[in-house]
Amino acid sequence: MSSTSTPARGRRRSEQTRLAILTAAYELTTEVGYPDLTIEGIAARAGAGKQTVYRWWPTKADVLLEALALKADLKVSTADQGSFEAELDAFLQDSAALLAFPGVAPVLRSLMAEAQRDTDFRRRFRDGFLSKRRAALETIVERAAARGDKPDRLSGAFAADVVFGLIWYRILATERLLDQDDIVGIEQLLTGRPGKE
């Protein structure tokens, strides 16, 4: 779509359309489920053209992974709170709340299944979603290292393996989400301290 508006306004409008498409994709999946989600349906709900969606994303799974990456960025805090334990707790509480949000766990389940079927999407899912979530947790561990309250022997990469391993295993294998006992358990495990019991 060519535009006669100024570049600045064009960028604004294009960013508004992008966000409308991401929101439409997420809302529509929670209503109809991943198998019945279509690019046509997403475009219609966003008031955009089908070609506009395809210009930015190759598949419906790619729209959803970006929608969820954006949601996670907005909902899961990595802000400096003065201590590793406080930041880990905020990260886990926010992550558990996001997972409990209607539709989030089923969409994640569908995307991970898609990533096993389609190796190209697996790479895009890893780079566009999984790695970003790991990086978010790793910033907390790195800040703790700089502050000086990082537990001995804990690396950001291993912390991410443990935390996201447990979260994904729950989503895919047990269908149980994270509860407060899990959060306390992870905190005890990673900090080596009793945690809030």
Q: Enumerate binding residues for a copy of itself (CB under 8 A).
A: 109-110, 112-113, 115-117, 126, 130, 153, 158, 161-162, 164-170, 172-174, 182, 185, 188-190, 192, 194
Dihedral sign from CA coordinates of 140, 145, 149, 155? positive
Least distance (Å) from a copy of itself to the CB of residue 168? 5
- Tell me whether residue 86 or residue 166 sits nearer to a copy of itself (CB atom): 166
Least distance (Å) from a copy of itself to the CB of residue 63? 19
Least distance (Å) from a copy of itself to the CB of residue 18? 26
- Tell me whether residue 80 or residue 161 sits nearer to a copy of itself (CB atom): 161
Among 148, 152, 111, 126, which Cα is nearest to 26's? 111
- CB 67, CB 26: distance < 8 Å: yes
- CB 171, CB 109: distance < 8 Å: yes
> CA neighbours within 13 Å on the CB side: how many for 196?
10
Least distance (Å) from a copy of itself to the CB of residue 35? 9
- Tell me whether residue 10 or residue 151 sits nearer to a copy of itself (CB atom): 151
- Tell me whether residue 11 or residue 176 sits nearer to a copy of itself (CB atom): 176
Provide CB contacts within 8 A for 90, sequence distance 6+.
77, 79, 81
Block residue for tokens 């969409």: 107
